Every structure is written in C-alpha cells, then in structure tokens.
Structure 1
C-alpha cells in the first residue's frame, strides 16, 4: 500500500491536503470528502482518523485506490463555521457549467482526474430524520435512479440493526441538491454518490463512530476492503 500527500487548490488561500492511497491490487477508485462545511466536526475527525490509521499501518486497503480529502474547506474549519459562501451550493449544475468557487473548481478537477466510481461526501446536520422529515440528521442521501441505491439500502439495514430505539436509526433521502458536490458527481461524472449525515444531537464521539462505521461499510460495498 502506498500513500501520497498532495495539495488541493495549492498555491491559493484555500490550499488543503488530500491523500491518494493505492493498494497493490487493482480495483475501484473511491473518493471520500469531509469538511465541505467547516462546522461539521464529527465527519472531519472521522476522515482524519482514517488517514492517520492508514499512515500508521493500523489499517490498510486490500484493493483499489482511495482518494481522501479530510478537510475540503480549511478556512471554514478553522472558524468552525459552515462557510461563506456555502461551498456545497457552488458546484456546476449542468454539463459545461463552471464551479463558482476556487475550491469547488479544484475538487471537481480532482474527481475528473481520478474518475472515482464511488463518491462519499461526509456531513453532519440538525435533528433526527426518522423523527422529523424536514431535517437531515442520521440520513444517507442519494437520488432516486442512483446505481448506489442497493448499497445504500444494505448499509442502512446493517447500521440500524445495532441501533436501539427508533430515533437514532438512519433513513434514506432520495433527492438531488443542485450545486452540491454529491449531485455534481452523480449527474456530471456518473459516479455512485452518497452523502452521509450524522446528527449533531449526539455526542461527538458517537458521531465519529457512526461516520467511521458507515465509511467502512460503504467501502466494502464499493469493492475496497479495509483490514486491521
């Protein structure tokens, strides 16, 4: 397994590290992003923990390639804010369109370069979607015709079997969100794209655990096995 560190939007005020993890066996390319919104700390810390474990050889991937951007929006993360403008509204909405922010431009170029078959965008949100359909906390988002739908359903069932009570169980939300990275990846790059949303209502350690479990489940479904 080989890990290389690079800079996204390098030589700009928005520069942020990303990592390419290559196994010794051929396989799919999976892209994981976190920190599109700087106040969604649980997802960021889960992504940082994954790259730390890979670098320390505590875990490894058995096949394929992982492209990981642990903190997309460093400026927003340092201030612990969502970000101004909201980066997840600046991606192009149609073929030939241009991203409206240097970071979204750079992230889309990175995805085009590596051509991932799967994209997982890690987020956090208010509330519990199983209790209030107007909120996103504890949900997995994709769109109705997504080729990822079967994997999303399987991951949801797997997670929910170990979650007691209805409140914290995950739901599936099927919709496009124009201007988001997930929707751009799905519509423009034809990736199997999923947004993961854990709930701010839970303790930080719990949210990190959920994020890490979800990532491991989805990577297995995508064909990249994480081993300890």
Structure 2
C-alpha cells in the first residue's frame, strides 16, 4: 500500500484514505471548505502512453463512495467532458472518485478502441473480469482501472458513454438510456427514476426521452463492479446523433446531479455547471449550440490548446440561461448562423450574454457571432455599435436578394491597423484569411454604446452580385469595442481556420478577457 493521504475540509475531522501502490500520486490541491471538499489528483499507468489522471474529492461528512468514469470509448467525448466538469462540484459528504479520461490515446484520436493492442483487448469496456472467469482484467490500462475500483470499493460506479441513435427510435442503439447492471441494489430503481425525470424534463421530443434498460455487457466495468464489488452500477448513455457536445455533456451532468442530490452529496440548489477549482488563468466558454457550425468550435478548441494554463468548455443555450457564463472570463460565439444562435438563446439567454459582458466579461464573435453582436437586428445583442450590410436589393433577372450573402467560402486580404497590430500581435503587412459571408459593418450611432475601434480592414472583396461590388473592400474586417465594463471583439472572416493565424485568435481572446497575452 502507498503512503496515507490526509485530506481535511474546514470544520471536519478529516478522512484517511490510502493511495493504491500502483498509482503515482502527482499532486494534492487543498481548498477551503467553501470549495466543497478537498481534491487530490493521482495518475494511473504513470510513464506509459496510457497514463491518465484520476481525482479524489472528500466531503466534510461521511457518506457513500462514488466512482465516476468517462472516456472508456475514445469516440464518446461527452462523458469524458462531463466527468471533468463534475470535479468542481461542491461535494458535501462521502467520497467522489473521478476517472475522466480512461482511454487517453483513443480520446486524442477520436477512436472507440485502445490503439495498438491485441484485438481481444481493443475494447477497453470488455477488459474487466467476466462473470464466469477469474477476478482479473486485461490490458495494462484495464488492470490499472480495475485495481483502482477494488481499492476504493465504491458503493456506486457510474460509467459515462454515448450511443449513436436514440433508443426509442432505433432499438439497436443504447443512446439515451440508463443501463442498470445486475444484481440491482436496494434503492436503485427510485434513484434511476429520479435521474430519468431530471433529464427528460429538458427533452421536448418524447421519442428522444431517456429510458431504463436492464443489464450490461459481460466484461464491462459496471458489470464486474456489480458482481465482484457489490457496487450499484450504472451506464449513462447520451446520443451523439444531431446533438451538440455541450447538450450531451449537460445531460450527463443533470443525471449525475440528480443521483448526487438523492445521496445528499450535493445541495438541492446546486447548479449543473460550477466555476472551476484550480489555477486556470483564462476560462473560455465556447458556444456550440444551435446556430454554431461544426468546424468553428473544433478549430477554436485547437487554438485554446496553445494557451498555457487555460480552460475551455463548450456550452449551450440552457447553460447560459442557467447563469453558467459567470464562471468564465470570455464567451466565444463561432461561425454558423447568427439568427439561429439568437433564436436558440431566446430572450433570457440574450439577456444573460449582455449582462455577462456589461459586468466585465469578454465577448468574441466570429462571422455569425459578429452578426449576433450587431445593433441592427431585432434579435441581435446590440453590444457593439455597428450595423451590418444586409439590405435586400433588386438583382436584374434574379429578383430581390439580401446583400449579406456573397457566395461560397473564399480567401480575402485584410490589413491590421496600428491599434490592431498592437492588440493582435501581427506586423502591418496585409495577409490572407478565409471568408464566408461575415458581416460588412458600418457605424450604428447608438448613444448608449461607445464607438468601435477598427482593428483590421478588408483590402479585397468577395461579391456574388454586381450590386455588391465595392461594398466590402476598405470596410472593417475586425473591430473592438466596449459594452459596460466588458469588451467586445468582432471578427468578420475566419482566422481560426488557419493554424498560421492562431496567434491572432489567442490575442483576441486575451484582449477580450482584459488579460495580458501569454508569453
């Protein structure tokens, strides 16, 4: 056995637990009781390509031990993200052990199986003791995970996964289900019922409701834990089909919050998303709900990886309405459709975004997000003093067409102003950038919002119709402004699409956050 780790919350007598000998303990972070329990971070399979962190959070009072695992299948990211996010919940009692990224190489590659292993060991969630077999796991990381489970002997083991379709629509898929391992422990049915009620209250389409299923696969972690350790074991399955990662992650959190509240580990009023504990110097909320394109959030997350000590979480409209923006320094609205983003947010969501910026938060809008920040639509936020060129004009032989649409994606030239060079970190030479119908802006003249500053000009243009020619060149490509105590930076083209321009994007985020750029 390893050296005992003493974890103590303010006002508690503390708990004594021992780190398993195979676990390389990396760090111990101590927080005040207000943070809701202590957290220790250790490592499984240290020094190998399978190395992955686990976390132990102690409440201030005795209670159940719960082990939550995510990422056993690398192509199911929402469970891994949800597991990382619940680390920051204020745990009141008991012990929470979280293994967010069980299959690290698979998650990095987006592949279901363990890479570069024997075929019979490729599916990590079939590597655990089978019903009629020995109490042994297979594969290096499988053995490490199983030893972790045996050492902590959880009362509950909850494994987070994703299915490819909604079970009520396609019965061959286990998407949108809660799978209960046999044997079923006392109280499990009522707990599962509460979880289903919690998540289904947010799902409008009855065909997409979550349903309970009995039994999990032989060789799965949950089945082994139920049979060998006597744990109440559940698999929570969201559905990847036509649903944003932020929504699926939220559904996992809602179900986990329900069971934690049933066990008294969380207070009744606890939000599903809380501010992170730790030393992240920059916290960014990345909108990926309705109206966001697929490539924008993905490209922006790659950019965020280049910023040291930063954190970026995808969020959706429900998170924003719940007040989640208060946990971040900046929100980014990517390309897609500004009107659809606004519709998804609704009146309350748009008010939350305005309130966030007004109180000092940062807003970065790219293409569709820049439309969202504008002043001239009934649905736009009005947080930057510009109108967009969107009027309808008569096109000979075609009819009336809106001027915002300029055709398919193309490359344009932009040039930074002296202020733009200082903020965005690029020299004065014009450069190429991808453009796809971003806004062409001009001053709106709002009395209550300060004038914007031009940070870059378009030096070439794209046009589909004759009447558009000359309306884009030498107009603002990037502008920055203030709204209340916060900052707004609107980018018409798509610099996040090019790795060569990642510095520009990171500098834009830092400026919006009112932080010095990372060195």
TM-score (norm 1): 0.92
In structure 1, how many angstroms separate the alpha carbons of the residues matched to 2:216 and 2:79?
21
Superposition misfits of 4+ residues, deviation over 4 angstroms: none
Q: Where does residue 104 of structure 1 map in the other structure?
A: 142
Q: Where does residue 160 of structure 2 map in the other structure?
A: 122
Q: Where does residue 130 of structure 2 map in the other structure?
A: 93
Q: Secondary structure at the residue paired with 1:127?
A: coil
Match 1:198 to one of 234, 238, 241: 238
Bigger Rg, structure 1 or 2: 2
Q: Given the alignment of the two structures, is residue 38 of structure 1 paired with residue 79 of structure 2, yes or no?
A: no
CA deviations 1:58-110 (Å, max 9, x no partner) are x3111111000110010111111001301011111146331111111111111
Q: Is the Cα contact below 8 Å between 2:130 and 2:218 reproduced in 1?
A: yes
In structure 2, how many angstroms separate the alpha carbons of the residues matched to 1:180 and 1:137?
17
Q: Where does residue 7 of structure 1 map in the other structure?
A: 43
Q: Is the Cα contact below 8 Å between 2:156 and 2:231 reproduced in 1?
A: yes
Q: Given the alignment of the two structures, is residue 49 of structure 1 paired with residue 85 of structure 2, yes or no?
A: yes
CA deviations 1:155-204 (Å, max 9, x no partner) are 21332233212122001111131011111111111100000000001111
Aligned length: 222
In structure 2, how many angstroms separate the alpha carbons of the residues matched to 1:133 and 1:144?
21
Distance 1:16 1:144, change over 3 A: closer
In structure 2, how many angstroms separate the alpha carbons of the residues matched to 1:198 and 1:104?
23
Match 1:173 to one of 196, 203, 213: 213
Q: Where does residue 213 of structure 1 map in the other structure?
A: 254
In structure 2, how many angstroms separate the alpha carbons of the residues matched to 1:149 and 1:6?
33
In structure 2, how many angstroms separate the alpha carbons of the residues matched to 1:86 and 1:144?
21
Q: Secondary structure at the residue paired with 2:42?
A: strand
Two-structure CA RMSD over aligned residues (Å): 1.6
Q: Secondary structure at the residue paired with 1:26?
A: strand
Q: Given the alignment of the two structures, is residue 20 of structure 1 paired with residue 56 of structure 2, yes or no?
A: yes
CA deviations 1:84-138 (Å, max 9, x no partner) are 3010111111463311111111111111111110011000111001122211110
Q: Using CA pairs below 8 Å that are at least 6 residues apart, which structure has the higher relative contact order?
A: 1
What 5-or-longer segments of structure 2 have no aligned partner? 1-36, 115-121, 272-519
Q: Secondary structure at the residue paired with 2:62?
A: coil
